[in-house]
Chains A and B, each alone.
Chain A
Amino acid sequence: DAKTTQPTSMDCAEGRAANLPCNHSTISGNEYVYWYRQIHSQGPQYIIHGLKNNETNEMASLIITEDRKSSTLILPHATLRDTAVYYCIRLGSARQLTFGSGTQLTVLP
């Protein structure tokens, strides 16, 4: 039970922002939202995580709604190398990742 809901697939034009939504309406107060991505034939790669506040790093930005029931991962300038499956994951005190099916993001030239 992944406990998050993501669209199965999305397309984005190269150079444009990719906005990937995630619903986690039953998230607990102590659970973080983590995002990983998996490029074809590679292991998953950590992107970003957050609890309540919006976060930004060199890869992406994470916007979490005030009620924490949903979040959006933003890749500001998508490139072809960003084509991957993106996973939104709730992480509790056990620090175990439970992956769902994720969103297949395809960046189009």
Chain B
Amino acid sequence: EAGVAQSPRYKIIEKRQSVAFWCNPISGHATLYWYQQILGQGPKLLIQFQNNGVVDDSQLPKDRFSAERLKGVDSTLKIQPAKLEDSAVYLCASSSILVSEQFFGPGTRLTVL
């Protein structure tokens, strides 16, 4: 079974630039999550999708972050414009309806200069 795929693995941008991350969940997983992990901290949930609908985006900084999952499969997370404090690893995870175990991708490490 293929795992959760994310790209790119690394990204370096300057502040005020835009960036987008892509996630392909495990086939058949209806629920998709985006997390932000700042160095030295545990991951923090940004947004949760069920199929192509948003379940929870209460911790997503909506003035600069956006996410979509148009066909209920792949998802993109965008930051526009980026700030220095957005430097972090962005993790995507997915889970099925039947079990609560979340499977995580390898993450995208973002550095904002």
Q: Does A98 contact B (CB under 8 A)?
A: yes
Kindly state whether residue B107 has any CB partner on chain A within 8 Å.
Answer: yes
Q: How far is the CA of A2 from the CA of B43 in the complex (A)?
A: 11
Contact assessment for A87 and B104 in the assembled complex, using a CB-CB cutoff below 8 Å? no
Tell me the nearest residue of chain A to B48, going by C-beta. Answer: A96
Roughly how many angstroms separate A24 CA and B56 CA in the complex, as a whole number? 24
Task: Please name all residues of chain B whose beta carbon is closer than 8 Å to the beta carbon of A2 when the two chains form the complex.
Answer: 42
Q: Which of chain B's residues have a CB closer than 8 A to the CB of A98?
A: 45
Interface size class of chain B, counting residues whose CB lies under 8 Å from the partner chain: 20 to 34
Contacts of A21 in B (CB 8 A): none
A43 lies within 8 A of B91 (CB): yes
* Residue of A34, A42, A99, A101 touching B106 (CB-CB under 8 A): A42
Query: Of B13-21, B68-76, B78-86, B95-103, which binds chain A?
Result: B95-103
CB of A97 closer than 8 Å to a CB of B: yes
Q: In angstroms, how far is the closest chain A Cβ from the Cβ of B20?
A: 19
How far apart sit A77 and B32, CA to CA, in the bound complex (Å)? 34
Distance of A35 from chain B, by nearest CB (Å):
11
Contacts of B42 in A (CB 8 A): 2, 85, 87, 99-102
B110 close to A (CB within 8 Å): no
B106 touches A97 (CB 8 A): no
Given the complex, which residues of B lie within 8 Å of A34, measured CB to CB?
100
> Which chain B residues in 4-41 approach chain A with CB under 8 Å?
4, 31, 40-41
Alpha-carbon distance A96/B57, docked complex (angstroms): 12
Known: A43-B91, A44-B102, A91-B100. 4 other contacts (CB 8 A): A34-B100, A43-B105, A95-B31, A97-B45
Interface residues of B (CB under 8 A from A): 4, 31, 40-45, 48, 56, 91, 93, 95, 100-107
Which 8 pairs of residues, A with B, have the shortest CB-CB distance?
A: A99-B42, A43-B104, A46-B101, A95-B100, A99-B43, A44-B104, A43-B91, A43-B107
